[in-house]
């Protein structure tokens, strides 16, 4: 790298990293016109397509290709150490994304291998619902009555006078059956 640092560069310009699918492309472009000077496809990083120089963090050896099977290794150096750091991080981020996409694809192909989340009720399991701030109907008199306990620990409102109530509560996985109760006095539990 000492030769690279002391020598005048054969070419200077702009470096961009683009991605197409899983492959990253290091593009060396003219800094004013944007014309492509050379590019290096990178299929994995670290790898043979991009190698850092052992005694400097600003210099790399990259393998450029012309698209017709011809390849050449060239030395690339950054004037600013921060730009070299950004170059390294951009390649790392791309291939981190590639690994994540590969893992997601494997999980999609084999969904049974992942941990199963069972949200069904276990036998005998109950839940309790607290329904607060229930307003009394207009015209209702007297103090609020305690609600009778229904099936499975659920709180059920008593049926309206003179009407019929139909409740369906199914704590297990069995098909729910319609539970109907005749008109009852307020405060009488539904059985």
Domain definitions of the chain by residue range:
13-109
pLDDT digits (tens, 9 = 90+) for 2-48: 445 556 788 999 999 999 999 999 999 999 999 999 999 999 888 89
pLDDT digits (tens, 9 = 90+) for 111-127: 666 566 677 777 878 78
Residue 84 in contact with residue 74, Cβ under 8 Å? no
Indicate the DSSP class of residue 155. B
Answer yes or no: CATH 2.40.40.20 is held by domain 13-109: no
Q: Token digits for 1?
A: 């790298």
pLDDT digits (tens, 9 = 90+) for 67-91: 888 999 999 999 999 999 999 999 9
Q: Which residue(s) pair with 72 in the sheet?
A: 64
3-state secondary structure of 115: coil
174 has a pLDDT exceeding 80: no
């Amino acid at each position: 790298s000492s030769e690279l640092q002391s020598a005048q560069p054969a070419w200077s310009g702009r470096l961009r990293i683009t991605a197409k699918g899983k492959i990253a492309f290091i593009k060396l472009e003219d800094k004013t016109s944007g014309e492509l000077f050379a590019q290096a496809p990178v299929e994995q990083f670290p790898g043979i397509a991009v190698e850092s120089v052992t005694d400097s963090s600003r210099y790399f050896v990259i393998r450029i290709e012309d698209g017709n099977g011809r390849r050449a290794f060239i030395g690339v150096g950054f004037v600013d150490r921060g730009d070299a750091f950004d170059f390294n991080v951009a390649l790392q981020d791309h291939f981190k994304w590639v690994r994540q996409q590969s893992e997601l694809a494997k999980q999609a192909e084999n969904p049974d291998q992942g941990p199963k989340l069972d949200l069904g009720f276990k036998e005998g399991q109950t839940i309790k619902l607290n329904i607060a701030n229930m307003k009394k109907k207009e015209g209702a008199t007297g103090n609020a009555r305690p609600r009778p306990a229904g099936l499975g620990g659920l709180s059920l409102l008593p049926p309206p006078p003179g009407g019929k109530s139909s409740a369906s509560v199914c704590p297990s996985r069995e098909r729910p059956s319609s539970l109907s109760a005749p008109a009852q006095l307020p405060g009488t539990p539904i059985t």
